[in-house]
Amino acid sequence: MNPTLYMPIPATIERITAETPDIKTYTIRPDEPMPFKAGQFVELAVPGIGEAPFTPSSSPRISDHMEITIMRTGRVTDWLDTMKVGDEVGVRGPMGRAYPIDDFHGREILIVGGGCGVGPLRSLLLALVEDLDSYARIIVRYGARTPDSIVFRDAQMHGWNQGGALDVMLTVDEGNSGWDGHVGMITSIMTEDYLDCHADDGVAVMCGPPVMMKYGTETLLERGYRPENIYLSLERNMSCGVGQCGHCRLGRYYVCKDGPVFSYDEIQNNPRLWDD
């Protein structure tokens, strides 16, 4: 018996950090610790309003609280945007399949993020850097629309390269007067000029808006990454989170229980993989 199957446990908002004009990171403390693995998601509920799926952006080593980085984009996130420190939310989870970190040992890992999709990737990165010696190399490529919409901007530009141990590069679709970094789509910093990688046996992990994932995957395949080594965090309307309600079906899978992390070879034959 699991009476909490469809009901969240209460959680308190402990901190709210504005990342960009429309993205905030919420630190929540559930009434009971909620251990999760990087890439798994939770259903975050605004009492009486609704709930939506989000992947935590904080380290999976920490279970008494979690950070969730959220873009204001719909009904639940509009409500979240009005909430304050001390307010109560609900959380169910963790749900779904995580990044297969054990399979990453000894290999080169390319992390490709777009926009708010860097949230789950930050959680992965925080897990990886605690054990840096276990991986051949870690590369991060991130794209945002503008310099102002870069999520975790200070960390990405200064902290994430771990004093040069990681190869981190950012790009923006449109620059401004204060930006002296790269300008161009995410795929423009995945070319040979900007990305030195071992695609044949390397692992690529990508999360971002569907259109970015679509062209990003094409670029990874062109660079020689194998479909089984490309891991994508898919976005569908995950509602119950346990493979019952039917909303997130993708071919023979439910994204909530069989994903949200899929290797590209598992899903490449789906005719409507990238929603539009």
Q: Which residues bind another protein (CB under 8 A)?
A: 1-7, 10, 45-52, 73-77, 90, 95, 209-210, 235-237, 239-240, 242-252, 257, 271-272, 275-276
**Which residues, at least 6 apart from 169, have a Cβ–Cβ distance to it below 8 Å?**
140, 141, 142, 182, 189, 194, 195
What's the closest the beta carbon of residue 95 comes to another protein, in angstroms?
8
Q: In terms of CB distance, is 22 or 167 closer to another protein? A: 22
Residue 78, φ and ψ in degrees, nearest 5: -65, -40
Alpha carbons 41 and 55: distance in angstroms, whole number: 4
Residue 224 CB, shortest distance to another protein, in Å, is 29
Task: Tell me whether residue 84 or residue 252 sits nearer to another protein (CB atom).
Answer: 252
Pick 93 or 202: Cβ nearer another protein: 93
* Cβ at position 3, least distance to another protein in Å: 5
Residue 197 vs 238, nearer CB to another protein = 238
| Rounded CA separation 231/217 (Å) | 9
CA-to-CA dists, residue 1 to 86, 94, 141, 239, angstroms: 32, 18, 44, 20
Q: Which is nearer to another protein, 28 or 242 (CB)?
A: 242
Q: Per 3-state DSSP, what percentage of the chain is helix, strand, and coil (rounded to 5)?
A: 25, 30, 45
Task: List the one residue out of 151, 198, 192, 155 whose CA is nearest residue 172.
Answer: 151
**Minimum CB distance to another protein, residue 271 (Å):** 7
Shortest spacing between CB 49 and another protein, in angstroms? 6
Do residues 108 and 202 make contact, with C-beta atoms less than 8 angstroms apart?
yes
